[in-house]
């Protein structure tokens, strides 16, 4: 079974700083997707970024980028020029494409606070 | 407005009293899913549905039932709720399933359930 681990329960940085959230996963599969979701205090889950395992290039979405290390099974999220609105819970998630099952496995989450 | 609507937002009930949490999406999505979110455990998938009359178990299906009689609705049923089902529940949908490229997961706003 796949597992996703976020080792940082909480993080806090000053506005405009860069912050990196870590995520590791365990799988024997080769074909999968990885995601980062954001959950602000409103509780809505919002997709931040997605990475296909077959792609070597790291995904980027505006101020959000990932460092995908497939051999190390690591998928960290970097937030540049952090803003107060980035304050949220962040979840890393894994989806195995090989089995055809439509399951997302989530990590435990990292609570990120951006301080003014 | 395209959205996933869950009701109720908050629910307090007693052990053994059957309840239903409704989920409806207005985007003609084929895929729908239920998750529960617990501190330190992240989100765990309960059930999912690839289309009308097609449902499958997630990682924590025990104590829950679902049905998909119509494309837009995917209710979560707790026949005999117990205190260990106290949690935050999320419904989500996507156009064609998680493996499709342009098919992000849209989440509802969550239902906070307390079983005493």
User: Residues of B near A (CB-CB distance < 8 A)?
Assistant: 31, 33, 35, 40-45, 48, 50, 56, 58-59, 88, 90, 92, 97-99, 104-105, 107, 109-110
Distance from CA of A80 to the nearest CA of B (A): 23
B20 pLDDT above the threshold of 60: yes
- Out of A41-50, A107-116, B2-11, B27-36, least confident range: A41-50
For residue range B51-107, what is the model confidence (pLDDT) as tens digits? 999 999 988 999 999 999 999 999 999 999 999 999 999 999 988 776 565 677 888
Q: How many CB atoms lie within 10 A of CB B32?
A: 27
Q: Which residue in chain B is spatially nearest to A100 when comparing CA positions?
A: B99
Q: Which residue in chain A is spatially nearest to B97 when comparing CA positions?
A: A102
Q: Which residue in chain A is spatially nearest to B102 when comparing CA positions?
A: A50
Q: Which has the closest alpha carbon to A95: B62, B67, B22, B92? A: B92
The answer to whether the CB of A75 falls within 8 A of the CB of A66 is yes
CB-CB neighbors (< 8 A) of A46 in chain B? 107
For residue B73, give the DSSP letter: B
Q: How many CB atoms lie within 10 A of CB A71?
A: 5
SS3 B80: coil
For residue range A7-28, what is the model confidence (pLDDT) as tens digits? 999 999 999 999 999 999 999 8
Structure tokens at A91: 């979840």
Average pLDDT for residues B40-49, to the nearest whole number? 92
Distance from CA of B35 to the nearest CA of A (A): 10
Mean residue pLDDT of chain A comes to 91
SS3 A22: coil
Structure tokens at A109: 């989450």
């Amino acid at each position: 079974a796949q597992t996703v681990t976020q080792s940082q329960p909480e993080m806090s940085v000053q506005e405009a700083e860069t912050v990196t959230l870590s995520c590791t996963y365990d799988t024997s599969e080769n074909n999968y997707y990885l995601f980062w979701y954001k959950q602000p205090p409103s509780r809505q889950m919002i997709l931040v970024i997605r990475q296909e395992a077959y792609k070597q290039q790291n995904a980027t979405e505006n101020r959000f980028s990932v460092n995908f290390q497939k051999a190390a099974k690591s998928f960290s999220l970097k937030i540049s020029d952090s803003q107060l609105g980035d304050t949220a819970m962040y979840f890393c998630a894994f989806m195995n494409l090989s089995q055809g099952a439509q399951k997302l496995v989530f990590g435990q989450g990292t609570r990120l606070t951006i301080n003014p | 407005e395209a959205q996933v609507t869950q009701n109720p937002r908050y629910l307090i009930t007693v052990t053994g009293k059957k309840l239903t949490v409704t989920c409806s999406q207005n985007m003609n999505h084929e895929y729908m899913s239920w998750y529960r979110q617990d501190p330190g455990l992240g989100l765990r998938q309960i059930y999912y549905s690839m289309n009308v009359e097609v449902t499958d178990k997630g990682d924590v299906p025990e104590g829950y039932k679902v049905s998909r009689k119509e494309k837009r609705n995917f209710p979560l049923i707790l026949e005999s709720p117990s205190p260990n089902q106290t949690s935050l529940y999320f419904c989500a949908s996507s156009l064609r399933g998680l493996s499709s490229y342009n098919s992000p997961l849209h989440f509802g706003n969550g239902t906070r359930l307390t079983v005493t």
